[in-house]
Amino acid sequence: MISSWLHQRANLNHRWLQNEYSIFLYRLASGGVLTKEWANRLNEWKNRHDELVFFVENSELALSPKQLLNVYPLSELHEQHREWLEPLIHEYYCSRSGIRNKIKQLKEKISEVDRILITFQVGISQPEAGKEMYQLCLKLSEMISVLPKEIQI
Amino acid sequence: MSIPKILVIDDQFGHNIKSRRDLCAMYGILDITGDDSLPEDVNKPLAKACFCSGQITSDSTVINDVEFTIRAVQQGWPMDDGSRWALILLDLCFVSGTLEGNGWATGQVGDEVFGLEILSRLKLIFPELPVVILSSREREEVIEDCRKSGAVDFIQRLSVLGGPSPREILSKKIREYGLLEDKNEVVVGRSISLLKVLAEARRAATGGGNILILGESGTGKELLARYIHQQSPKAAGSYKVFHAFGTAENLQEDLLFGHIKGAFTGATKERSGLFEQASGGTLFIDEIGDISETLQNKLLRPIEMRQVSRQGSSQEISLSMQLVLATNKALDDYSTTGRFKFDLLNRIRAYTIKIPPLRERKDDIPILVDHLLEKLCKDYNSRWPRTVHFEAMEKLKSKTWEEGNVRELRNVLERVVKDNKDSEIVVARDIRFDNEARTPSSLQAKSVVSFSIDNGQPSPNLGWLNGIHEMSIEEDYAFLHGTWQPLQREIALLLARYLAASIKTTRIKRADGPPEGEINLTGAVSCLFGHQLSTVKAADFVKRILQFGENAGEEIIKENPVLSTALEQALRFRPKKSAKNSRKSSRNL
């Protein structure tokens, strides 16, 4: 699970959000005119939105140490013990890592980008909206970047 | 002069043209890779860029490939026009693996540090090539590894709005580290050693501080000082020059500090010194090693505190200036003997730049010759343009330039122009060196012969061999010491090849003989010498050349099998035998 999550993170955050979408937004924020082609590129956010939300929501499970119960030697645990140990490990990890709070903040940031995107669609204050959107995406990318890169033990 | 060319090594921008256009617009670079039919139209680009992915794709699998990357770098080191990559921008993370539907690779272990692997190889093969890391990762995270691996700096790909723009950031890095020619052609040349000096000069040109230029006489220290001034934030200010050498000691102080009226006998009116005149700009003090000891003490304050008083006045005047000093003297030695104040030396050598002598930047000779000839032809109202025959250029390049440097080159060319005002070509005969007698002819000969052998073809530089027989063994003995044998070997190799060519042209064709004709050894050797030789002498000549040294003979014969037959024939001829036998043998020669 962690490997596919890491893979998704590399594609979504590193390749798309940082190196593609944010660089495009920088141009927009630097006074670029919103042509039809650029409007289409701006709307890439909408295409990626659900994938991004799914990725963020999936973080809690992807980084959870409870997955280790499926791997030898913990996979040998009796079902009876596993039943109480699994939720306990997960809850302990959640409270220690603050992952739920991080997910909440990430989703809020995504919603902020959603809202600012509407500004473009109604055509008001484009340069300012461009700057705000660029800053928000940078922040979002930074928040994703600091998520752990391995299961949290 | 064209704008600098840079190479961007990045997996994503190497492959993805849409993203690349954004990057080019963001950094103000013009994409010249050639794989984009509609590259981004950048207004006043600060550099031209080629993009290289650092990867190859085979059977839907993306592979990180260092060798492919090195080849891409080699293409611009140097390019066909003689220019080089000014800078490399290198990404850190290269995602490889199986290609997925969205066109992205899956990612493999080690991808995140592949950039560092490339960097290590680049520093091994191209140690002089400046590499700047361009990555989306945080600077603090990676800067230590990057610097340790040889990168000169790091650029965070995404800039914070309101701070310096990406274009400004890249421009600063290119200015500080890029291998850039002087577009104003004050300092002419494109050799790596010179381009590195120019980069040092730009870094030093902060508009303040002291810069010490070291270099032999005639290397262009004053020109470099002017370049520093032009590159500094004080370029709009005045540029003043003070030549210590040749200026009377009592005048040195007055010229630098000025005086008030009545400061000394004859000081009828107030006058500012060069320090004051250069305030807001640059003062260049040439030959600082020739400054009198008294004046050295007086220089401490303006050099360190940027304050000066005119002679006869106690009023301090504050200065805002850049100070450039130069010398061809060993100031350290001077300081040890007390001839140069250690305190002063310490203050002026905060940033030292050493200009390479011409003999260490011979690659620059063609471009310097072109530049100087154009200037001299205009100065002396002589024919321009004119070409320089390659033999003439080789003559200039093979000179050792032990002293005099660019100034001496200029003098040599000045004579060429004055002696040949209306000529459209400079030939080797036109080039005359003042100290020709001191140039070891053995060294000239060696370089010519080596050139001939390495080229694998008969030398086009035959004219150069004209004076070889006049080589003075007594005078050149020191230079020949230890080189005589190799020199003989090279000459023997050269002569052997001429002999082979001569044999080919003098073959005698007979109806009953081989189709290519019979070897006429006496004829061939006579042809080489330009007059008829006896068979004895011809055979002796062949034996001497083809039996030179223990291994050289084998080497010569291996080069051309016809020589093996020639030697066989020469050996069959025994001069000590009776005249009858000799005559009999000679029929075969």
Give B151-201 pLDDT, tens digit per residue. Answer: 999 999 988 888 899 999 999 999 999 999 999 999 999 999 999 999 999
Residue of A6, A11, A23, A40 for testing the chain B interface, max B β-carbons within 10 Å: A23
User: CA B509 to CA B118: how far, in whole Å?
Assistant: 62
Per-residue confidence (pLDDT) for residue B505, from 0 to 100? 83
Please name the residue of chain B whose CA is at the shortest distance from the CA of residue A133: B161
Residue B346: burial class (beta carbons within 10 Å; 0-12, 13-18, 19+):
exposed
pLDDT at B498 over 70: yes
Of the pLDDT bands very low, low, confident and very high (cuts 50, 70, 90), residue B589 is very low
Q: How confident is the model at residue A45, as a pLDDT? A: 94
pTM for this model (two decimals): 0.74
Please name which of B247, B255, B325 lies closest in space to residue B287, comparing C-alpha atoms. Answer: B325
Determine the 3-state secondary structure of B372 from DSSP.
Answer: helix
Q: Do A15 and B26 touch (CB under 8 A)?
A: no
Optimal mutation site among A15, A139, A140, interface B, most CBs of chain B within 10 A: A15
CA angle B24, B26, B31 (to 5 degrees): 10
Q: Report CB contact under 8 Å: A10, B107.
A: yes
Chain B residues within an 8 Å CB radius of A130? none
Chain A hits for B166, CB-CB cut-off 8 Å, are 26
* Spatial contact of B337 and B304, defined as CB atoms under 8 Å apart: no
Q: At what angle do helices B484-505 and B521-529 cross, to 10 degrees?
A: 120
Contact yes or no for A26 and B158 at CB 8 A: yes
Phi, psi of B285 (to 5 degrees): -105, 110
Does residue B235 register a pLDDT over 50? yes
What does the radius of gyration of chain B's CA atoms come to, in whole angstroms?
Answer: 32
The predicted complex's ipTM stands at: 0.86
Tell whether B23 is within 8 A of chain A (Cβ).
yes
Report chain A residues whose CB lies below 8 A from the CB of B109.
Answer: none
- CA-to-CA separations, B181 to B83, B164, B169, B520, in angstroms, rounded: 9, 25, 20, 57
**CB contact (8 A) between residue B158 and residue A135:** no
Does residue A23 have a pLDDT over 80?
yes
The nearest CA of chain B is from the CA of A88 a distance in Å of: 32
Mean pLDDT of B402-422: 92
Mean pLDDT score, B448-460 = 37
Q: Is A108 on the interface with B (CB under 8 A)?
A: no
Higher pLDDT, A33 or B458: A33
* Chain A residues with beta carbon closer than 8 angstroms to that of B136: 14, 18-19
Going by C-alpha positions, the residue among B537, B547, B221, B173 that lies closest to residue B356 is: B221
CB pair distance less than 8 Å for B104 and A11: yes
Q: Are the C-beta atoms of B441 and B467 separated by less than 8 Å?
A: yes
A14 in contact with chain B, both atoms CB, cutoff 8 A: yes
Residue B444 confidence (pLDDT) above 50: no
Residue A85: what residue type? L
Q: Which of A10, A18, A141 sits opposite B95 (nearest CB)?
A: A10
- Which three-class secondary structure string do you get for B396-462? HHHCCCCCCHHHHHHHHHHHHHHHCCCCCEECHHHCCCCCHHHCCHHHHHHHHHHHHHHHCCCCCCH
> Which residues are CB-neighbours of B86 under 8 A, at least 6 positions away?
B4, B5, B6, B47, B130, B174, B178, B179, B180
> Is the pLDDT score of A50 beyond 50?
yes
pLDDT at residue B557 tops 90: no
Query: Which 8-state DSSP code applies to residue B259?
Result: E
pLDDT at residue number B533: 83
Strands B47-52 and B5-9: parallel
Band of the pLDDT at A129, cuts 50, 70, 90?
A: confident
Across the interface, whether the CB atoms of A30 and B158 are under 8 A apart is answered no
**B17-39 exposure pattern, b = at least 16 Cβ within 10 A, e = fewer:** bebbbbbbbbbbbbbebeeeeeb
Residue B25 sits at the vertex; the CA angle it makes with B19 and B31, to the nearest 5 degrees, is 75
Q: Residue A22: list chain B partners with CB under 8 A.
A: 158
Q: Chain A interface, mutation test: which of B158, B159, B169, most A Cβ atoms within 10 Å?
A: B158
Q: Which of B25, B107, B160 sits opposite A7 (nearest CB)?
A: B107
Average pLDDT over residues A31-41: 80
Residue with tokens 């002679």: B311
Chain B interface, mutation test: which of A7, A19, A146, most B Cβ atoms within 10 Å?
A19
Interface check for B478 against chain A (CB to CB < 8 A): the answer is: no
